[in-house]
């Protein structure tokens, strides 16, 4: 005998279509019913489109997030204790994605230096934005999938773990995200916010820092939209009892000098060794300070922990704990091609989206989740905005195992470079604002 459903999906769709607020019970039901298959994909896609067009109140978004969390398990790190028996604080970071954004790699071990456990559940790249797991999988032997028990053990012994989220964490989000991706509803801010925050709240971290990217290479192209998303997510986190802050950071120019997988690991190792590009170091240190403050650790000096090797020590233990060889040579692309400066002057623009698409076309990214990536593919930059360049000097090197990809990568870079007369200055900023 089939049990009657308490609501009808069409009524819920009509309510949001007609700009009415959904009741808590309606939201709880539609998420649960969609997860178990009682609401069809075409019905949920219609509802997602209505949400994209008409929005949600804070109450609706908060309830939607709670319902997503309730669809699966919640992790609990309260058993993590110091030798004296004190509870170990936890902190995490989430980036909305960009080009050359390898910050998680040096950040997780850096924060762990100061006694804060970092349970970093990360994802894979799709399109022009890189994925943390793809980058780490270029390290021979490293594995992304851990059981909850393995994750807890590594947090206790090493203090940091970067791994894939388990299937039991917010399964409603996994199903809904895949639907949004193919129905033109990814951009709905309430659904973006609930997607990110349902996983992060279910993860069980005590403090969360959000890196919300703004610019051509980011998901949110303009500062107003990025600010709205950041404010929505901060409110959701605070409502759930998670200390949450957000930084708005620029993504009109790639972060660092690399966009790819193995080459971003290589650059992260430079940062962990006390060097690396200034923008990567600056953002890593600033996010570490925010994570530590959120976890109740004050007076720490993350920059010093990069310089003196303490963060590198944690990195080596973290990689080894997940089967990786921290001393192994990283994969290298078989083919390379150089892009040269077209004129003398100051490089004032280097479009992040164009560089990201070029890296994607070279094999560093994927168009579908099931696609493979090339570990050594990507774009290595030789100059960043603000640098003086001369015509014929190398601006970037394109890397791939399949040279037939070079043509389309060069097409992506047409118009990506802006060179102005000497004395000009680029207008980009790295950290735009802090929202708490």
CATH, residue 312: 3.40.1030.10
Say whether pLDDT at 2 is over 80.
no
CATH, residue 352: 3.90.1170.30
DSSP assignments along 151-214, one per residue: HHHHHHHTSEEEEEPPTTS-HHHHHHHHHHHTTT-TT-HHHHHHHHHHHHHHHT-SEEEEEEEE
pLDDT of residue 117: 97
Q: Which of 102, 128, 180, 243 is catalytic?
A: 180
Stretch 211-230: mean pLDDT:
95
Catalytic status, residue 199: yes
Catalytic status, residue 94: yes
Residue 306 shares a structural domain with residue 414: no
pTM for this prediction: 0.94
Residue 125 shares a structural domain with residue 165: yes
Structural domain includes residue 295: yes
Q: Which of 16, 124, 128, 199 is catalytic?
A: 199
What mean pLDDT is reported for the chain? 94
**pLDDT tens for residues 57-77?**
999 999 999 999 999 999 999
Residue 115 shares a structural domain with residue 151: yes
Stretch 283-307: mean pLDDT:
97
> Per mean pLDDT, which range of 85-99, 175-189, 215-229 is the poorest?
175-189
Two tokens, residue 407 = 């043509």
pLDDT of residue 422: 87
Residue 268 shares a structural domain with residue 383: no
Say whether pLDDT at 238 is over 70.
yes
CATH, residue 14: 1.20.970.10
Say whether pLDDT at 1 is over 70.
no
Say whether pLDDT at 337 is over 80.
yes
Tell me the residue ranges of DSSP E strands in 215-320: 243-250, 258-260
Say whether pLDDT at 271 is over 80.
yes
Catalytic status, residue 425: no
* Domains in the chain, number: 3
Structural domain includes residue 354: yes
Residue 44 shares a structural domain with residue 15: yes
Residue 310 shares a structural domain with residue 352: no
**pLDDT tens for residues 162-187?**
999 888 889 999 899 889 878 889 88
Residue 196 shares a structural domain with residue 342: no
Residue whose C-alpha is closest to residue 374's, from 397, 399, 356, 352 = 399
Structural domain includes residue 435: no
Structural domain includes residue 83: no
Q: Which of 63, 93, 94, 361 is catalytic?
A: 94
Q: Which of 173, 211, 279, 351 is catalytic?
A: 173
Structural domain includes residue 233: yes
> Which range marks the domain in which residue 285 is found?
91-321
Cα separation, 265 vs 137, whole angstroms:
10
pLDDT of residue 425: 84
Residue 277 shares a structural domain with residue 162: yes
Q: Which of 71, 95, 194, 195 is catalytic?
A: 195
């Amino acid at each position: 005998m089939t049990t009657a459903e308490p609501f009808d999906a069409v009524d819920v769709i009509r309510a949001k279509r007609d700009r009415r607020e959904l009741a808590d019970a309606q939201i709880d039901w539609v998420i649960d019913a969609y997860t178990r298959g009682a609401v069809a994909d075409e019905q949920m896609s219609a509802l997602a489109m209505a949400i994209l067009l008409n929005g949600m109140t804070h109450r609706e978004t908060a309830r939607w997030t709670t319902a997503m969390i309730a669809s699966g398990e919640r992790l609990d790190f309260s058993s993590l204790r110091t030798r004296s028996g004190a509870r170990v604080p936890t902190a995490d970071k989430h980036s909305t994605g960009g080009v050359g954004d390898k910050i998680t790699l040096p950040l997780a071990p850096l924060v762990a230096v100061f006694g804060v456990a970092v349970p970093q559940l990360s994802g894979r790249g799709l399109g022009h934005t890189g994925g943390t797991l793809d980058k780490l999988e270029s390290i021979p032997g490293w594995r992304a999938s851990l059981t909850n028990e393995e994750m807890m053990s590594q947090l206790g012994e090493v203090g940091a773990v970067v791994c894939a989220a388990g299937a039991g964490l917010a399964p409603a989000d996994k199903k809904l995200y895949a639907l949004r991706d193919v129905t033109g509803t990814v951009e709905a801010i309430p659904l973006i916010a609930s997607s990110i925050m349902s996983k992060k709240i279910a993860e069980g971290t005590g403090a969360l820092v959000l890196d919300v990217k703004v610019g051509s290479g980011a998901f949110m192209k303009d500062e107003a939209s990025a600010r709205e998303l950041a404010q929505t997510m901060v409110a959701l986190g605070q409502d759930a009892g998670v200390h949450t802050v957000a930084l708005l950071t620029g993504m009109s120019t790639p972060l660092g000098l690399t966009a790819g997988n193995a080459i971003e690991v290589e650059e992260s190792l430079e940062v962990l060794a006390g060097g690396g590009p200034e923008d990567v170091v600056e953002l890593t240190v600033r996010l570490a300070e925010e994570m530590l403050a959120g976890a109740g650790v004050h007076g720490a000096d993350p920059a010093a922990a990069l310089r003196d090797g303490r963060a590198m020590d944690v990195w080596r233990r973290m990689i080894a704990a997940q089967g990786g060889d921290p001393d192994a040579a990283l994969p290298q692309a078989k083919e390379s091609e150089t892009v040269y400066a077209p004129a003398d002057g100051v490089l004032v623009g280097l479009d992040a989206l164009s560089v990201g698409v070029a890296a994607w076309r070279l094999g560093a990214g994927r168009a579908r989740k099931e696609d493979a990536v090339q570990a050594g593919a990507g774009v290595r930059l030789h100059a960043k905005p603000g640098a003086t360049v001369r015509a014929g000097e190398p601006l970037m090197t394109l890397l791939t195992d399949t040279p037939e990809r070079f043509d389309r990568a060069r097409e992506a870079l047409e118009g990506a470079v802006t060179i102005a007369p000497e004395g000009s200055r680029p207008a980009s900023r790295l950290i735009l604002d802090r929202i708490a």
